[in-house]
Chain A
Amino acid sequence: MLANVGINRLCESGLDGSSAQQIYRYMLLTRAISEKSWFLTRQGRVLFSMPCDGQEAADVASAYALDTGNDFIVPYARSLGAMLVKGMTSQEVMLNMFGKAADPNSGGRQMPQHWGHKKLGIISMGSSVATTIPRASGVALASKLKGQDAVTMVYFGEGSASEGDFHEGLAFAGVHRLPVVFFCNNNGWATSVPVSLQSAEPQVSKRAEGYGFPGVTVDGLDPLTVYQAVKTAVDRARSGDGPTLVEATTIRMMPHSSSDDHLRYRSQEELDAERQLDPLPRFRDFLISAGLLNEESDQTLRDSVDQEVEAAIDYADAAAPPDPATALDGVYAP
């Protein structure tokens, strides 16, 4: 009976069982990398990290709705899950965390989790938030002008929605009905500033109406719901009907970054309560109820993820750092 409910819910989302299992593995991998990166910063082996614990369902399931071979992602710092789905390997992620020469994101030039990977269609981001939003509209404009069959999805937090570039990027995409999906990860916090101090209207998706395209808010802790909403948005973009603003409400289980102490502005009780909403056990329970996972296969999966990340850490730790003689290279393209 439970299994039937689960299967029905899967069918409704448009995902099959093996896709749901894949999404779960990506979620586990994302969590493992995020947690281990945090510990690496505590050990002083990695200098900085931005955890994404609590956002795995939103980031993985949204990226899963893309045609990963052809579509573009314009990421933000908590897009680890989406990066993995888009094809970045654990090894590449760890090369990035350690700032090594072979890091495909920037060869050690940017801080960790400042993603960009040309071959994978991941458009480079810096630390100045929301500049990515008009950039995504520009990538999509080029797709439209060139007749390129590609959708662009840009990720950002609700904090970025306070920037002027949010408005300018969405307005432009609306006017030109561009094939772009704006994916807002609303975890309720811009570092230490709660959403109540960011806008008198906490629901970011409502702003889409002002730009003439749909906006939806979904439970970002449920990958099936996220997938369903983003798939609809991606299909709409691909068919030429223009952009969608998808807002996924999520949680931020960890501090803003390894340089932040969230107990300065959040209570332990609140954090404990939020941890109960962790999307990982919730999805695991769902998969078990749907007959797609059991305790044993779950453990096997966790072990394989753990080994994969540990191997990536060892590899990246041992990899060559950038050659200081190259520090002046590449200021200008030839």
Chain B
Amino acid sequence: MVEKRLIEAVREGLREELAADPNVFLIGQDIGMNGGVFRVTEGLLEEFGPGRVIDSPLAESGMVGVAIGAAMNGLRPVVEIQFADFIFPAFNQLVSEAARMYYRTNGEFAVPLVIRAPYGGGVRGGLYHSQSVEAYFAHVPGLKVVVPSSPHDAKGLLKAAIRDDNPVLFFEHKLAYNTVRGEVPDGDYTVPIGEAVVRREGRQLSLISYGLSVHHCLEAAETLSAEGIDCEVVDLRTVSPLDTVTLLDSVKKTGRACIVHEDNLTGGVGAEVAAIIAKDAFEYLDAPVQRVGAPDVPSFPYSPTLEDALLPGPSDIVHAARELATY
């Protein structure tokens, strides 16, 4: 197997699905000639032509609305929202239409649709190029929300998302595109949506996370290991629907849980995971459930000194884990 960057894994997944299924097409701003502002779709217009890789007007709601219509007429659209921060004009289309189409038509109309969007901070993108938006959508029945952490999963989960008959939001951490590398199998494989994975086995404490934050957890676990704190790291991979079995099994084993995400805390995925643990693993807990996330500010500010003050990283996880371990 060849080691690849996460961005290459996403591109490979898109290319293979475009080649395998004539009903798959891509639509997004700047994804054609420009190959996307992050270059995820580089070369795909040349390979598949303008009928399969469509440059959209600057209109997120219209673009998602068009994709829903195309999906209802037999195609499998993959939309790129340039930054997750710009998804909100399409919120109504996603929540009022895509999410409930299958339910409201009593199973007549499915919407096989993928929305890809780069999320996350650490790139000095300021308030409007740094957000984590998964919690808004994880709240909505009918949507699936996927946040891969590794190139292997990015390709496999993306393929699974494209083949899924439901609308799937697929969030890729923009800082991970070129910094996270890993082995990616050649050719076709999928990673099932809705299955978490244990990234590191441990006995004393469960770090539960997804996306780029998984790597922060793994780094923190190394540091903590040197201090004699043995951490398990659970990568949720899908934040809706949650794999409650895997996360509960881990917490029942370790008795201590810390949920980590880059999104701000209030109403975040961590709150939901904490509630699940409190209900179904209460008697296994040796300490209160901890959460590490961004403080409740409106996304990360531009100036590096300000952003760095707010971005949750490995040292924040180490602090929280130490508290938990000594509770």
Chain A residues with CB under 8 Å of chain B are 72, 74, 104-110, 114, 116-118, 123-124, 126, 128, 131, 133-143, 145-146, 148, 164-165, 167-169, 171-172, 175, 329-334
Contacts and interface: CB of A to CB of B under 8 A. Distances in A.
Residue from B57, B72, B106 whose CB has the most chain A CB atoms within 10 Å: B106
Given A168-B57, A168-B59, A171-B59, A131 B65 contact: yes
A138 B141 CA distance: 23
B104 interface: yes
B314 to A, nearest CB: 36
Contact of B61 (A110, A123, A148, A164): A164
Interface string B160-171: 000001100000
A163 B59 CA distance: 13
19 contacts: A124-B72, A134-B65, A134-B68, A135-B66, A137-B69, A138-B69, A138-B73, A139-B69, A140-B69, A142-B70, A142-B75, A146-B73, A167-B62, A169-B65, A172-B66, A331-B103, A331-B142, A332-B166, A333-B110
B266 interface: no
Interface in B226-278: none
B131 to A, nearest CB: 21
B42 interface: no
B283 interface: no
A128 B97 contact: yes
A106 B104 contact: yes
Interface residues of B, number: 44
B92 A131 contact: yes
B68 A330 contact: no
Contacts of B104: 106, 109-110, 114, 116, 124, 126
A333 B66 contact: no
B66 A109 contact: no
Nearest to B109: A124
Interface centre among B51, B56, B59, B62 (most CB of A within 10 A): B62
Interface centre among A72, A110, A141 (most CB of B within 10 A): A141
Nearest to A150: B73
A76 B102 CA distance: 18
